[in-house]
Structure 1
Amino acid sequence: MDFFEIDGSYGEGGGQILRSAISLSCITQKPIQINNIRAKRKTPGLSAQHLTSIRILAKICNAEVHGLEIGSTCIKFVPGLIQDQKIIENVGTAGSISLISQVLIPVVSLSRKNLELKIIGGTDVSWSPTIDYTKIVLQEAYSRFGISFSLDVERRGYYPKGNGIVNLNVLPTKKLSTISFTKRETREADIHCTYSKIPSNIIETEVKKISKNLEKANFVTQLKIRNEDAFDKGASILISSKDAKSIIGIDGLLNVKNFKFSDISKSFIECNLGIDSHLADMIVIPAALVDGISVFRVNSITKHLETNLYVTSKITGCKYGIGRIDGGFEIRVEGASGSRI
């Protein structure tokens, strides 16, 4: 059998290239071999979070997988027929449910299937989008493409115990559309904050500081603060905005040692183009598979985005270009809709 080989050390050399390659293997039905997995990380190879993502995808598309174990630096993935599924999974750690969801949603929806997933793990953890970012920002961006999913949080899961519970329901895409995200026009910003086992006055003080900073920059803010129980103490915050030409979200976690949020308001204010830099790499896969050209503008190009554009173009045959504009960059992706099953 011929395998499409990917060097996992390319670009940022982390989990992003693994997630994208396996997702695209399922969507395009191309057997894939990934070498040098997470070669540039302090602890190379597969982690529990990656195992869970691949294991669920293997169930969904009846795949044959070789090398699926903790620490493995090479796997072979042979996708089979994708089916509707109802699944319960436990990451077993505080591994990010958001990152796992990013892998599953486009695969299931673009393959015109259904998924009902109950997953246990981390909802708001370091080096990952918060679950509110996934529920609010990613959901809105995907809906513009025609990808639909719903996400319900039964329980929050912070580091180190995790044990958050999320119910994810992915629906089949009826029609995939191109997108254009060029410049933020709205001056409205929503602030979502959830916390557990921390005095409410501390949280309210921190959130109001961020809100005042936004108001000084002429944003009208709406605050939503919720106490949601978890096994560990913790808190997360998300500032988001959306209009016809932009979707932007900046999130962060509370430092539980000094009970402070970092000042994410500055990052939100400066993020004035079409999308935030994290969302940029998340929308590459659907942009690569739609019939037509999608356009989005960002203030900066991340290693994750560069890596995703490279890997996605290699597997799907899509074309892309990056050009400088005032204050940032414009990315154009011409989809290869014929590579989708």
Structure 2
Amino acid sequence: MEMIELEGAQGGGQLLRSALSLSLCTGIGFTMHNIRGARPRPGLMRQHLTAVQAATFVGNACVEGAALGSTSLRFLPGKVEAGHYPFAIGSAGSTLLVLQTVLPALWRADAPSTLRIEGGTHNPMAPNHDFIVDSYLPALRRLGIEADVTLEQHGFFPVGGGVVTARVMPAPALTHASWAERPADVALEARVLVSGLSQGIAYRELGVLGKRLGVEVHPRHVQVVTSAGGVGNVVLVRARGSDHVEVFSGYGERGVSAEKVADRVASQVDRYLRSAASVGEHLADQLLLPMALGAGGTFTTTAPSEHLVSNARLIEKFLPVKIEWSAIDTELWRVSVAV
């Protein structure tokens, strides 16, 4: 079996997840050293370990080094099989990151699959359920990938306790897709989630978004989550265009005012709206892998992030593709994936 040596010191868990996805899809094994080496707590944490375990089960793989805190991993993929897969992270680690790890392998399988994943559903530094459902999955459908995700129970950091279920259909042939410059008619919508906290926090956050972005401020945009374990506060803004939706998020944290949380989200939205880019920074990175596994594509984004650059170079180690980006204007870049 062909093997690739990978260095994980300069990347986070994303490099490992992308390597697992690509290994399952290409049949190429890999060894990764110094996993998350630059992080304050290097090595595999629970959500990374669950992603490894999920890839192992889905792909009948052989793995060495799959343990909490491990900084090296050897992964030998086998045959990917469709089926029903339950996974429990055992912490507030992101259920959606685990899902994204095995999703490419399952859409290339020969039958539908279902998953049930327990852990966090709305995590800082990870795609949340709203982003996945409203932005990521619709983007995948334009590439010919059919999958849906249902939120069974919210799970907030640091308690977790959330549950998502997913259904993935076979996608035997993907299509080329393009996201050009964003249409001018973008509509903004705001929603705030609170769990175990005063609704007043949510109204203060909506007030800031109303002043800065002009979104409607109304009690119906506050969702009190009663089924979650633990305390949570999530600020969400959707930017709806004619053919694409971007989702921007912020999370309440101890010692940070509600106004500051909302102000940070408003600044994210402002930056996106100042640009003519169609795809936001976070989705830009996540489109590379499905495009590279399919028929390629192009999109415009605000700027190539460090995650996008490192993910592109990793993809090119597994696949005969060329990923390039070039500046068109201030905060407007074109990214192309040629297969």
- TM-score, scaled to structure 2: 0.90
Letter matched to residue 208 of structure 1: G
Q: Secondary structure at the match of 1:25?
A: helix
Q: 2:107 is matched with which residue?
A: 109
**Equivalent residue runs for 1:184-223 within 5 Å:** 184-185=182-183, 186-215=185-214
Letter matched to residue 285 of structure 1: L
1:8–1:18 contact (8 Å) kept in structure 2: yes
Task: Measure how far apart 1:15 and its partner are.
Answer: 0.9
Task: Measure how far apart 1:258 and its partner are.
Answer: 4.6
Q: Secondary structure at the match of 1:235?
A: strand
Q: Distance in 1 between matches of 2:171 and 2:241?
A: 22
Question: Could you give the per-residue CA deviations for residues 163-222 of structure 1, whole angstroms, max 9, x where no partner exists?
Answer: 11111222221531122122221321232332211222321231232133222xxx7899
Q: 1:85 is matched with which residue?
A: 83
- CA gap 1:13/1:258 in 2 versus in 1, 3 angstroms: closer
**Equivalent residue runs for 1:102-141 within 5 Å:** 102-141=100-139
- Which of these residues, 58, 61, 84, is aligned with residue 59 of structure 2? 61
Q: Secondary structure at the match of 2:68?
A: coil
Asked whether 1:4 is paired with 2:16, we answer no
1:214–1:220 contact (8 Å) kept in structure 2: no
Letter matched to residue 58 of structure 2: I
Q: Distance in 2 between matches of 1:160 and 1:289?
A: 34
Asked whether 1:228 is paired with 2:225, we answer yes
Q: Secondary structure at the match of 2:238?
A: strand
Task: Measure how far apart 1:285 and its partner are.
Answer: 0.6
Q: Distance in 2 between matches of 1:267 and 1:250?
A: 7
Q: Distance in 2 between matches of 1:105 and 1:209?
A: 37
Question: Could you give the per-residue CA deviations for residues 101-126 of structure 1, whole angstroms, max 9, x where no partner exists?
Answer: 22122221134543211111111122
| Unpaired segments ≥5 residues, structure 1 | 336-341
Q: Distance in 2 between matches of 1:18 and 1:50?
A: 8
Q: Distance in 1 between matches of 2:45 and 2:323?
A: 31
Q: Secondary structure at the match of 2:197?
A: coil
- CA gap 1:104/1:267 in 2 versus in 1, 3 angstroms: same
1:234–1:256 contact (8 Å) kept in structure 2: no
Q: 2:322 is matched with which residue?
A: 319
Q: Distance in 2 between matches of 1:324 and 1:109?
A: 33
Letter matched to residue 181 of structure 2: K
Q: Distance in 2 between matches of 1:190 and 1:22?
A: 35
Task: Measure how far apart 1:39 and its partner are.
Answer: 1.2
Question: Could you give the per-residue CA deviations for residues 82-109 of structure 1, whole angstroms, max 9, x where no partner exists?
Answer: 1112122210111111211221222211
Q: Distance in 2 between matches of 1:162 and 1:148?
A: 27
Letter matched to residue 329 of structure 2: D
Q: 1:338 is matched with which residue?
A: none
1:183–1:246 contact (8 Å) kept in structure 2: no
1:3–1:32 contact (8 Å) kept in structure 2: yes
Question: Could you give the per-residue CA deviations for residues 216-271 of structure 1, whole angstroms, max 9, x where no partner exists?
Answer: xxx78997432222111112122222435644221111234455124212221221
Asked whether 1:267 is paired with 2:265, we answer no
2:149–2:166 contact (8 Å) kept in structure 1: yes
2:205–2:235 contact (8 Å) kept in structure 1: no
Q: 2:140 is matched with which residue?
A: 142
| Unpaired segments ≥5 residues, structure 2 | none
Letter matched to residue 207 of structure 1: L
- CA gap 1:326/1:221 in 2 versus in 1, 3 angstroms: farther
**How many residue pairs get matched?**
329
Q: Distance in 2 between matches of 1:138 and 1:237?
A: 18
- Which of these residues, 297, 303, 308, is aligned with residue 305 of structure 1? 308
- CA gap 1:48/1:62 in 2 versus in 1, 3 angstroms: same
2:285–2:307 contact (8 Å) kept in structure 1: yes
Q: 1:288 is matched with which residue?
A: 292
- CA gap 1:313/1:113 in 2 versus in 1, 3 angstroms: farther
